[in-house]
Amino acid sequence: MNLLTIDDNIDTTEALTDYCNMHGIDSKVVNEGQKGLFEIQKREYDVIFLDIAIPEYTGFDILRQLKKQNVRHKSIVIITALNLKMEDFSDYVDVGVKEILKKPIGLDCLDEVLQRNMKNVRQPFLS
């Protein structure tokens, strides 16, 4: 399994990287929106964690560009500290937005999200 995290918050990206390392998940972190978009376009990921509030080129900018390019069926989980609902992302479901996680993210929640969104579950995650 491989996972991409696009988030400018170092604490969040370090926590997700540590989690992935503990579970043998290949992970990549990108801290800038435009670089994150490029990474989504060049490589397939099983799950993409996308922060909405990235400065300069936001998660919404990434989603709009994917939609404009007719990119479909990614497995994108939105991570945000904002109080957003899935209805806020109805235009991006075809791009691949699956659900929204509110920061801070607990390990149990992370386990559940990855199990729901993985294409190829190789082994169960343990907390």
**Residue length of the chain:** 127
Please state, rounded to an integer, the average pLDDT across all residues of the chain. 89
Q: Alpha-carbon distance 13 to 19, whole Å?
A: 10
Predicted pLDDT of residue 22: 93
Bridge-based pairing state of the strands 97-102 and 26-30: unpaired
| Dist CA 43 CA 82 (whole Å) | 28
DSSP-derived letter for residue 46 is S
pLDDT computed for residue 100 by the predictor: 92
Confidence of residue 119 (pLDDT cuts 50, 70, 90): low
Whether 81 shows a pLDDT value over 90: the answer reads: no
- What would the pLDDT profile of 36-59 be if each residue is shown by its tens digit? 999 999 999 999 999 999 999 999
What is the average per-residue pLDDT within 79-105? 90
